Structure 1
Amino acid sequence: MTKFYSFHGTVTMITDLIGQNGEGDGCKKLISVQNGMGTIVNFVVSPTTHFVDHVMVAVGDRVTGYYDGNAPALLIYPPQYQALVMVKDSPYQNVKVDYFNSQLESSDGQLRLNVSPYTQIVLTNGQPFTRNPANRDLIVIYGPSTQSIPAQTTPYRIIVLC
């Protein structure tokens, strides 16, 4: 179970990440994100980073980067984290990345899923996931939700992070 932390803000810079020996093959990027209070976080984006809806991210875009809060991090400023999931803001959908238990409730107790026959459940490569999504790390894409605690929603799509 991954402990997902997130940081939301505006992309201020995207650069190629160059290795210690000066080699840079263009496969990794460093995306700098600044929030409304001026705090900056650098995300290392690799080919394994999942971009929801496979969107292209550019300077000026509003994004949320998710990273493993239990992973070791360099003690540098600005902080630098390995991005697991990147989400570009959209007015038409909400996204939650978290571990969902056997009741399909998020680990922070803020969201409960009511899966319908119309909910698309897929792997990160877009292929169908045919098992129960409970007790897994999920990317949940949803619209409206109740104002109860936990909020309840019928997701549009669930992406299973295997």
Structure 2
Amino acid sequence: MTNFYSFQGTVTIINDFNIGQNGDGCYKLITVENGMGTVVNFVVTPNTYFVDHAIVAVGDRITGYYDGDAPAPLIYPTQYRALIIVKDHPSQNVKVDFFNRQLVSKDGRLQLNLSSYTQILLTNGQPFSRNPANRDLIVIYGPSTKSIPAQTTPYRIIVLC
């Protein structure tokens, strides 16, 4: 179970992040500013998962998810290794968290109601044939109730194995 933290803002810079001879061009440094003066650099690796395989450009609003328990260098701006990047889209919501056996997120804010139309996939796009409970999930959904926890029937669930 990963302790997911997130940072949301507008992409201001995208640069190559040089890590050595075989990694040239494979790593990126994406600088994100949240509109209140806080800046974060996300190190994007070949293993960073981009929801919907979105291409991110300067000016896009994104949310970057990182492991809140992973060490981070004490530099400014803060730098995190991005695990998941979501390009904001007005018609969909995304939640990245651990969901328990009742499909309630670890923070207790979202409960999932699965339907036969809910796609449950692996990060490689292949179908996931088991119950998604008790796992780290990327949940893509639309409307939800105003209850606590909010309830939704997700469009798609991506299982982070």
TM-score over 0.5 (shorter chain): yes
Q: Kindly provide the amino acid, as one letter, of the partner of residue 142 in structure 2.
A: G
1:111 correspondence with 2:110: yes
**Percent identity between the aligned chains?**
76
1:161 correspondence with 2:160: yes
| C-alpha separation in 1, matches of 2:18 and 2:83 | 19
Q: What stretches of structure 1 of length at least 5 have no aligned partner?
A: none
1:34 correspondence with 2:33: yes
Aligned to 1:3: 3
- Deviation of 1:23 after TM superposition, in Å, equals 6.9
- Deviation of 1:76 after TM superposition, in Å, equals 0.8
1:24–1:102 Cα change, 3 Å = closer
Q: Kindly provide the amino acid, as one letter, of the partner of residue 122 in structure 2.
A: L
**Length-normalised TM-score, structure 2:** 0.98
Deviation readout 1:79-125 (Å, 9 max, x if unpaired) = 10000000001011000000000100000000000011110000001
Secondary structure of the residue aligned to 1:158 is strand
| 1:52–1:85 contact (8 Å) kept in structure 2 | yes
Q: How many residues are paired up?
A: 161
| 1:64–1:86 contact (8 Å) kept in structure 2 | yes
| C-alpha separation in 1, matches of 2:8 and 2:35 | 9
- Deviation of 1:38 after TM superposition, in Å, equals 1.1
Secondary structure of the residue aligned to 1:56 is coil
| C-alpha separation in 2, matches of 1:99 and 1:76 | 29
**Length-normalised TM-score, structure 1:** 0.97
Q: What stretches of structure 2 of length at least 5 have no aligned partner?
A: none
Q: Kindly provide the amino acid, as one letter, of the partner of residue 10 in structure 1.
A: T
1:129–1:24 Cα change, 3 Å = closer
| 1:142–1:157 contact (8 Å) kept in structure 2 | yes
| 1:16–1:24 contact (8 Å) kept in structure 2 | no
Aligned alpha-carbon RMSD (Å): 1.1
- Deviation of 1:36 after TM superposition, in Å, equals 1.3
| C-alpha separation in 2, matches of 1:97 and 1:24 | 28
| C-alpha separation in 2, matches of 1:6 and 1:41 | 11
Structure 1 stretches of 4+ moved >3 Å: 21-24
- Deviation of 1:24 after TM superposition, in Å, equals 5.0
Q: Kindly provide the amino acid, as one letter, of the partner of residue 18 in structure 1.
A: N
1:93 correspondence with 2:92: yes
Deviation readout 1:117-151 (Å, 9 max, x if unpaired) = 11000000100000010000000000000000000
